[in-house]
């Protein structure tokens, strides 16, 4: 089993205690802050080199070459943070200015329960209430896979501005009728767009479930056609093609 793509096996707690001592730390729950300068003072690199045979044993050979060759304080910090992750700990970093110099301080931190939730698209049933118009993700939230959420909002702003300019040029009052017109002009287009993104998302989910890359490969292939590429860029820029 590969641990986080770097290790071949989980190190023992005894090893970890000796390993942490190289950094002047007494176990996982030691909250001492340290900088690269502290590691130099404590001869951390030299101490790690003395343990190198043991450390190498845990890494996948190809990764050991990358991370353990020419150890220095920077690599020592990288290696520490990699080992900590195996035990649900992380290395937090904080910048401080000490005698006009920027110094980074590191500290072990427990990774608390990782919470997750499903990303879902959402669209408000009504875009406005009286004089109040909803905007941004409150109005329509889409899956981030296409990186289009804020683009939609920018398009909304453009349409709203056009409506205001039109009313103003006709000498009409700028009242809540703008909200109604805004919703009428945009709601169905935004829905088509976000449903389209959901559909793509579902395709990728399906591909993952059947463990096949047919959708990704077809999209890559389509993307190589300049005309189709142009069409996708247009949709990404304008939302739908019927603005
Ligand atoms: C992973 C990811 C990648 C994305 N990539 C892209 C991309 O590449 N291109 C793109 O166009 N869009 C992208 N988006 C979508 C984009 O980030 C959102 O559409 C955009 O940030 C929405 O802006 P907003 O102002 O409506 O909401 P937000 O950016 O969510 O701002 C709302 C703010 O209100 C604050 N807030 C909430 N409740 C309260 C309260 N009660 N009191 C005070 N403050 C409060 C929140 O803390 C937040 O700061 C991405 C989204 C995600 C999640």
The predicted-structure confidence for 57-115, as pLDDT tens digits, reads as follows 999 888 898 999 999 999 999 999 999 999 999 999 999 998 889 999 999 999 887 77
Cβ neighbours around 55 below 10 Å, total: 21
Assign 26 to helix, strand or coil: coil
State the distance from the centre of ligand 1 to the C-alpha of 114, rounded, in angstroms.
Answer: 21
Same-domain pairing of 203 and 131: yes
What is d(CA 243, CA 240) in angstroms, rounded to the nearest whole number? Answer: 7
What is d(CA 41, CA 61) in angstroms, rounded to the nearest whole number? Answer: 30
Residue 8 lies in a domain: no
Residue 73 lies in a domain: yes
Q: Which atom of ligand 1 is least distant from the CA of 137?
A: 26
Same-domain pairing of 98 and 146: no
State the distance from the centre of ligand 1 to the C-alpha of 116, rounded, in angstroms.
Answer: 17
Same-domain pairing of 126 and 234: yes
State the distance from the centre of ligand 1 to the C-alpha of 141, rounded, in angstroms.
Answer: 9
Please report, for residues 8, 132, 134, 176, 181, the alpha-carbon distance to residue 168 in angstroms, rounded to integers and kept in the order given: 69, 19, 21, 14, 14
Residue 5 lies in a domain: no
Number of domains, the chain: 2
Q: Which atom of ligand 1 is least distant from the CA of 150?
A: 11
Which residues span the domain enclosing 95? 13-110
Residue 39 lies in a domain: yes
Same-domain pairing of 90 and 152: no
Residues 6+ apart with CB under 8 A from 142: 121, 148, 149, 152, 193, 194, 197, 198
Shortest-distance Cα residue to atom 6 of ligand 1: 147
Confidence class of residue 1 from pLDDT cuts 50, 70 and 90?
very low
State the distance from the centre of ligand 1 to the C-alpha of 185, rounded, in angstroms.
Answer: 24
Pocket lining: 27 vs ligand 1, CB cutoff 6 Å: no
Contacts 24+ apart (CB under 8 A), 169-175: 175/131
Q: Which atom of ligand 1 is least distant from the CA of 141?
A: 19
Lowest-confidence region among 69-83, 112-126, 165-179, 208-222: 208-222
């Amino acid at each position: 089993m590969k641990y986080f793509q770097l290790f071949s096996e989980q190190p023992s707690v005894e090893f970890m205690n000796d390993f942490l001592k190289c950094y002047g730390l007494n176990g996982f729950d030691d909250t001492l802050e340290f900088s690269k300068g502290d590691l130099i003072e404590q001869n951390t690199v030299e101490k790690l080199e003395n343990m190198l045979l043991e450390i190498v044993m845990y890494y996948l050979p190809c990764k050991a070459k990358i991370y353990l060759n020419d150890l220095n304080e920077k690599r020592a910090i990288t290696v520490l943070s990699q080992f900590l992750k195996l035990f649900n700990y992380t290395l937090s970093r904080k910048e401080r200015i000490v005698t006009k110099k920027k110094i980074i301080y590191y500290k072990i931190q427990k990774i608390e329960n990782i919470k997750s939730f499903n990303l879902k698209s959402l669209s408000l049933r009504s875009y406005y209430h009286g004089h109040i118009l909803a905007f941004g993700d409150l109005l329509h939230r889409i899956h981030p896979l296409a990186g289009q959420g804020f683009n939609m909002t920018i398009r909304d702003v453009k349409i709203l501005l056009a409506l205001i300019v039109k009313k103003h040029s006709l000498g009409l009052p700028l009242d809540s009728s703008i909200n109604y017109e805004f919703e009428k002009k945009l709601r169905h287009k935004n829905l088509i767009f976000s449903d389209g993104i959901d559909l793509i998302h579902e395709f990728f989910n399906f591909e993952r479930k059947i463990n096949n890359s047919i959708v990704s490969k077809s999209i890559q292939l389509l993307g190589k056609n300049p005309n189709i590429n142009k069409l996708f860029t247009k949709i990404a820029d304008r939302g739908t093609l019927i603005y």
